[in-house]
Amino acid sequence: MKRTSVGLTAELIEEISREKGEPRWMLEHRLRALEIFRELPMPRFGPDLSEVDFSDISYYLRTVEPVGSWEELPEEIRRTFEELGLPEAERKALAGLGAQVDSEVVYRSILEEVRAQGVIFEPMEEALKNHPDLVREHFMKVIPPEDNKFAALHGAVWSGGTFVWVPEGVEVAIPLQAYFRMQTQGVGQFEHTLIVAEPGSSVHYIEGCSAPRYTKAALHSGMVEIVVKEGAHVRFTTIQNWSRNVYNLNNKRAVAYAGATMDWVSGSLGSKVTMLYPSTILAGKGAKTENLSFSFARNGQWLDLGAKAIHLAPDTSSRLVSRSVVQGKAKSVFRGKLYVAPEAKGAKGHVECSTLLLSPEAETETIPTLDVRNHEVEVGHEATVGRVSRDQLFYLMSRGLDEAEALSLIINGFVSPILKEIPFEYAVELKRLLEMSFAEAIG
Amino acid sequence: MGILEVRDLVVTVEGKKILKGISLSLEKGKIHALMGPNGSGKSTLAFALAGHPDYLIEEGRIFLNSEDITKLPPHERARRGLFLGFQYPPEVEGVRLREFLRLAAANCHEPFCEFQKLYLESLAYFRMDELGERELNVGFSGGEKKRSELLQMRVLRPKVALLDEPDSGVDVDGLRLIAAGIEEAARLGTAVLLITHYPRILEHLPISKVFVLDDGHIVREGGPELAWEIERSGYEAVRG
């Protein structure tokens, strides 16, 4: 086991970089990001982050050496992955699977026919060695460290994650999946995911995550950067189930060029606090994005979610849809942002967020921002907040459903516009997670 | 003793007394009409019998198949064979009629294969094939909602069906379909309480008994001729 000292210093950054045997430019990038991190303020909006103590986090921990098969993993971790259904999903239907424990990817596989198509699916560290130019061309170009304090932190201490490159015209028929596990108390996780889809290609990437619950607050600050070139299609699905001591503060952004399509699907179930605003920059004519989000905020959680579409080119279109369920003393926020540039004539954008409150103390806020700089556009915004109506509940019960069944059906129906977009056979453990969430929400 | 026995039922809604001592008895396989002017308490009786939590039973008892169901929650009443066809069925977004009804049928002890057969047959019966995969009541027209209620009754095969104005907002063809559905249910043994304030639907149906409700009391009880009397002379004339 290799573990760095606690705290955030230039020496620590150098130690991580040395440990990974990185090229000079990456070390310089890390050190520059650390400088930027020190200068930038904490976010001025959203949840209270005062519990996050940057000096009390282990930034790097290699818990397990990478292995070539599930059997070689230590018993405890292997059992965890089996319970999560990862080996089964891999056998059944995935094009590739990566599994990370704490700071490093410990297992990775890719179907031979997918590899034969020229697809690269590698842990970031390996990709940095095997494809240095390709990684350097794109790494933190979509989200530079200057973007915000957590982007800078990530740039300084990132470890693990996945690099995906899909060659021109190649369609990866079944999804690739990554799974992130924070296993050890006090260790932060900062995986970096970079996906480059060459023109006319397509890929669906699914990520899932979990952690055992510890009393101490933990920090996860991952980054996802996606480049969707002309006519390509990327779909990125996240099922987030961090334990309720985790601060989950992410950066996710894609650039979509002419005729490209970028779809984000996010399910937020876990964490103590989440800040997540997947964004798409629609940089080329006719580029499209869809951003679908569902969340369950339960007692003690603050899920600060959102979506952004930045229309920079003509005839681009976006659809941002959110469904949130809030139970107990919890808070759910949705920030839907549309920016339409002067040159983005003919742009279409739609923001729609609905919230279902299950308890009197549940809180919700929807914050739409429509910044439209030309007149030849169609943009719209809708927001609704509702409670489960007594009439609906009585109606279903009058047909023989007990209260829990009726409530579960109503919640299920409410989130179904998003859920139906998620392939259950690939999204490991989602069904069980949802059932557990419903059961807890119903009380 | 009838399959449904209501004895001296007093019901309040938000502290206001709406039903002031209702007694009635429904016979297996028979169609009973409950008539009365607007605001007389017809829907209140239906909701109270089905167990809506906002309709408080202050006094009186309800027996279904000789069992006292006065204090049972709505789903327990439904599982024992009580069905309420809503006047205004609420929309339930994202829940397909089929999946909802499958769950309902399973709770009412209908085995799955039976359900599937009955469901498809009932969709055809009520000319609703195109609605089967739609979300529950979402975007249904008034007539479609009424047919959907009748379809649910046909699939769940209740012992007692309380149908709250299944005829309102329905066109002539729809009315025939609904009347046929009610008659079939009665033929198969369901006791029907048909709530309406228009005698129009009664022309299509063999009514065994008519109850007239006014200001929370049953003021008249009689054969089908009572419906025609109301048609001719209005409620004023039949008030006791």
**Residue A256 sits in the same domain as residue A371:** no
Is the model's pLDDT at A427 over the cut of 80?
no
B28 in helix, strand or coil? coil
Is the model's pLDDT at B10 over the cut of 60?
yes
CA B62 to chain centre: 16
In a domain, A293, yes or no: no
**Is there a contact between A107 and A96 (Cβ–Cβ < 8 Å)?**
no
Mutate to test the interface with B, among A391, A399, A410, A421 (most CBs of B within 10 A): A399
Is the model's pLDDT at A91 over the cut of 90?
no
- CA-to-CA dists, residue B2 to A401, B6, B23, B47, B160, angstroms: 26, 9, 12, 20, 10
If we measure between CA atoms, which residue out of A226, A109, A217, A233 comes closest to residue A172? A233
| Side chain identity, residue A98 | G
**Residue A227 sits in the same domain as residue A333:** no
**A394/B93 Cβ within 8 A:** no
pLDDT digits (tens, 9 = 90+) for B52-94: 999 999 999 999 999 999 999 999 999 999 999 999 999 999 9
In a domain, A392, yes or no: yes
Residues of B in contact with A406 (CB under 8 A): 75
**Residue A269 sits in the same domain as residue A412:** no
pLDDT at residue B233 in the model: 85
pLDDT digits (tens, 9 = 90+) for A46-86: 999 999 999 999 999 998 889 999 999 999 889 989 888 88
**Residue A316 sits in the same domain as residue A253:** no
**Residue A264 sits in the same domain as residue A354:** no
Residues of B in contact with A410 (CB under 8 A): 92, 95
In a domain, A283, yes or no: no
Residue scoring higher pLDDT (B235 or A130): A130
**Residue A199 sits in the same domain as residue A79:** yes
Residues of A in contact with B73 (CB under 8 A): 397, 402-403
In a domain, A290, yes or no: no
**B108/A394 Cβ within 8 A:** no
Phi-psi region of A207 (alpha: psi -120 to 50; beta: other; left: phi over 0): beta
Residue scoring higher pLDDT (A343 or B173): A343
In a domain, A238, yes or no: yes
In a domain, A288, yes or no: no
**Residue A205 sits in the same domain as residue A154:** yes
Q: How many domains does chain A have?
A: 2
**Residue A24 sits in the same domain as residue A170:** yes
**Residue A331 sits in the same domain as residue A261:** no
Mutate to test the interface with A, among B43, B54, B69, B75 (most CBs of A within 10 A): B75
**Residue A237 sits in the same domain as residue A374:** no
**Residue A363 sits in the same domain as residue A232:** no
The closest CB to that of B95, out of A394, A397, A413, belongs to: A413
Domain residues for the domain of A325 are: 300-443
In a domain, A286, yes or no: no
**B94/A396 Cβ within 8 A:** no
In a domain, A292, yes or no: no
Closest alpha carbon within chain B to A416? B94
Supply the ipTM of this predicted assembly: 0.96
If we measure between CA atoms, which residue out of B59, B57, B90, B87 comes closest to residue B72? B57
**Residue A74 sits in the same domain as residue A158:** yes
Give how far A260 is from chain B: nearest CA, Å. Answer: 30
Assign A441 a pLDDT band (cuts: 50, 70, 90): low
| Rounded average pLDDT over B38-57 | 96
Closest alpha carbon within chain A to B87? A395
Of A221, A241, A276, which residue constitutes the final position of a domain? Answer: A276
